[in-house]
Amino acid sequence: MIATLSLIDLIIVFAYFAVVFYIARWATLRRTHSHSDAATADYFLSGKSEGWFVIGAALFASNIGSEIILGLAGSGARADMPNAQFEILASLVLIILGWVFVPFYLKTGVYTMPQFLEMRYSSAARNYLSVVSILAYVLTKISLIIFSGALIFDMFGIPFWTGAIIIVLSTGFYTVLGGLTAVIYTDMVQTFILLAGTIAVTYIGLDQLGGWNEMTNTIAAASTEPGNPSVQQFFNMWRPMSDTNYPWTGMLFGAPILGVWYWCTDQFIVQKVLSAKNVSEARKGSLFAGFLKLLPVFIFLVPGIIAYALMKKGLLVYSLDNPDQAMPAMITTLLPVGLKGLAIAALLAALMSSLSSAFNSSSTLFTIDFYKRWKPEASEKKLVRVGQLATVVLVLVSLAWIPFMKTLMGGGMFHYLQSIQAYISPPIAAVFLLGLFIKRINARGAIVALWSGFVLGVTRLVTEFMAKEGMIRAEEGSLLHTLLGINFLHYALFLFLFCAVILILVSLTAPQQSDEQLKLVTYQKQRGEKSTGFKTDLWLTLLLIAAVLVLWILFSPWGLAG
């Protein structure tokens, strides 16, 4: 890195680290001075005192890791425009988080999502979600974030595993010390750095190319060569139902299931809204994050398209076999002194914000859902220390998973991330979503639905891995061939419906849970009661829905692709 960056760029990168560690120090001092009986709430939930702006920025920054930036830019470079749907649909799902789930989470006062599931169903359901969530962090978050971050360092000649260790140590340092307060406030700062850096890359890349029209003309000219994608493929996010990767049916009906799990029930995300001072602030924070989630289409995915056009004009070099290199190539090749340091700081900000959130969430789950139940007499100080130790162990496990993860990444980082989530999210989404609205379903139905869904999801994941490794062969017409031939988003939809049916039918074999147990965790008839800021939240929601509809039209056969 030192060989390819100017002194000014290095100063900017080091200044970024200085700001992050200063905020972490402030968070640590704030936690140290908190009253001892509030130490756990302060460390894991930032004292439940945050406002909408901080929450919204933290939600966005936690979600946007370097693996998302590199993966979406790679999707743009390989003409996988449907991946933009995951970002746009996230905005709609964040509306569901704010209006449907947030009131229950804050009313019950839970620290973790497994805690909420125990209140609705049973301790068995809580144990399931705790274990699966931690497993998901290893498979889809921590290891992938470390992997993508190491690739960033690798661009500058720093060996892959050296880069991985640097990332883990630097991020783990401030996360372990400052807890969620450090995570949330560093996320807020990192959001601005992230937006500034990626907007600079987009603007300068388009300027180097000669403007939007020159980009589309270059793509059109290149499309005459065999095997190259057309302009419509680059700017149309709607694919036919027969598409093997991103059919429109899978996007509209399968992808939201992944979204409900990730944005509404996953500790990684929901822990940010649990830190809100009240329901209105949490809801506004969710809506603010929804507006921010519309930006990645333009500042992550479109730069990948720009990179492709630049490569076709001979102005940029990266491997067609690995389009995930598109964004790093633009940073190292096109950006002038100063902005290059800002863009690298943006990538590091994205990396560290997501990784710190994963560290804090996993330690919260282990400490609250396992250790505290095993040692209820443990002191507040002891609980914090156990959470810190749990983070270290999970990091080591994640590093060990990286070699296996590379096998499953044939379709790129973003495809890997979404496909893994499609196999583990449907049963969890089903028990959370249906549990709020249908009082008749109960603990027996929930645990059977969760485990049967888990078996079907893991079966698909394992067979896919074995098929790619050549360990098994899927003969034409066989059951295995049929299983692997189902699109992963269609599979998620099938799995959700299957789990929903199991949940309802098995619940009928046992008595309904008592009204006392259900009163805080299911919808009850309200007597005109509305939270503060209700009208403002409603108008913001309608505006966000309108913005989503505009983007759907813009990136359709009747919009830019027309």
Per-residue pLDDT tens digits for 492-541: 999 999 999 999 999 999 999 888 889 889 987 654 455 667 889 999 99
The answer to whether the CB of 119 falls within 8 A of the CB of 126 is no
Instruction: Write down the pLDDT at residue 203.
Output: 92
User: How many of the other CB atoms lie within 10 Å of CB of 238?
Assistant: 19
The answer to whether the CB of 435 falls within 8 A of the CB of 446 is yes
pLDDT of 467-494, one tens digit each?
A: 876 778 777 777 787 888 888 999 999 9
Q: Which residues contact 529 (CB under 8 A, 6 or more apart)?
A: none
Instruction: Write down the pLDDT at residue 318.
Output: 84
Of 207-211, 399-403, 405-409, 456-460, least confident by mean pLDDT is 405-409
Percent of the chain's residues with pLDDT above 70: 85
Distance of CA 433 to the CA centre of its chain: 19
pLDDT band at 1 (very low <50, low <70, confident <90, very high): very low
Distance between CA 169 and CA 199 in Å, rounded?
A: 29
Instruction: Write down the pLDDT at residue 561.
Output: 66
- Three-state SS for 51? coil
Instruction: Write down the pLDDT at residue 448.
Output: 97
Domains of the chain: 7-371+380-404 (1.20.1730.10)
pLDDT band at 344 (very low <50, low <70, confident <90, very high): confident
What mean pLDDT is predicted for residues 154-164? 70
Tokens standing for residue 12: 């900017």
* pLDDT of 71 strictly over 60: yes
Tokens standing for residue 315: 């102005």
Distance between CA 421 and CA 63 in Å, rounded?
A: 14
Give 152 or 59, the one with higher predicted confidence.
Answer: 59
Of 243-252, 300-309, 341-350, 396-405, least confident by mean pLDDT is 396-405
Give me the helices (H) in 109-254, please: 113-120, 123-136, 143-155, 160-209, 212-222, 231-235, 248-249
Instruction: Write down the pLDDT at residue 2.
Output: 42
Instruction: Write down the pLDDT at residue 392.
Output: 76
Instruction: Write down the pLDDT at residue 150.
Output: 72
* pLDDT of 254 strictly over 50: yes
* pLDDT of 391 strictly over 80: no
pLDDT of 101-146, one tens digit each?
A: 999 998 888 888 989 999 999 999 999 998 888 877 776 677 777 7
Helix pair angle (380-405, 160-209), 10° resolution: 70
* pLDDT of 154 strictly over 50: yes
Give 183 or 547, the one with higher predicted confidence.
Answer: 547
* pLDDT of 404 strictly over 70: no
Helix (H) or strand (E) holding 428: helix 426-437
pLDDT of 19-66, one tens digit each?
A: 877 877 776 666 554 444 455 555 555 446 678 998 998 888 778 876
Instruction: Write down the pLDDT at residue 37.
Output: 46
Distance of CA 70 to CAs 75, 412, 462, Å?
9, 9, 26
pLDDT of 194-236, one tens digit each?
A: 788 889 899 999 999 999 999 999 999 999 888 889 888 899 9
Instruction: Write down the pLDDT at residue 3.
Output: 44
Residues β-bridged to residue 239:
247
User: How many of the other CB atoms lie within 10 Å of CB of 76?
Assistant: 26
Distance between CA 202 and CA 344 in Å, rounded?
A: 14
Give 164 or 485, the one with higher predicted confidence.
Answer: 485
The answer to whether the CB of 544 falls within 8 A of the CB of 95 is yes
- How many CA atoms, within 13 angstroms, populate the side-chain half-sphere of residue 503? 28
Across the chain, what does the average pLDDT equal? 83
Give 420 or 430, the one with higher predicted confidence.
Answer: 430
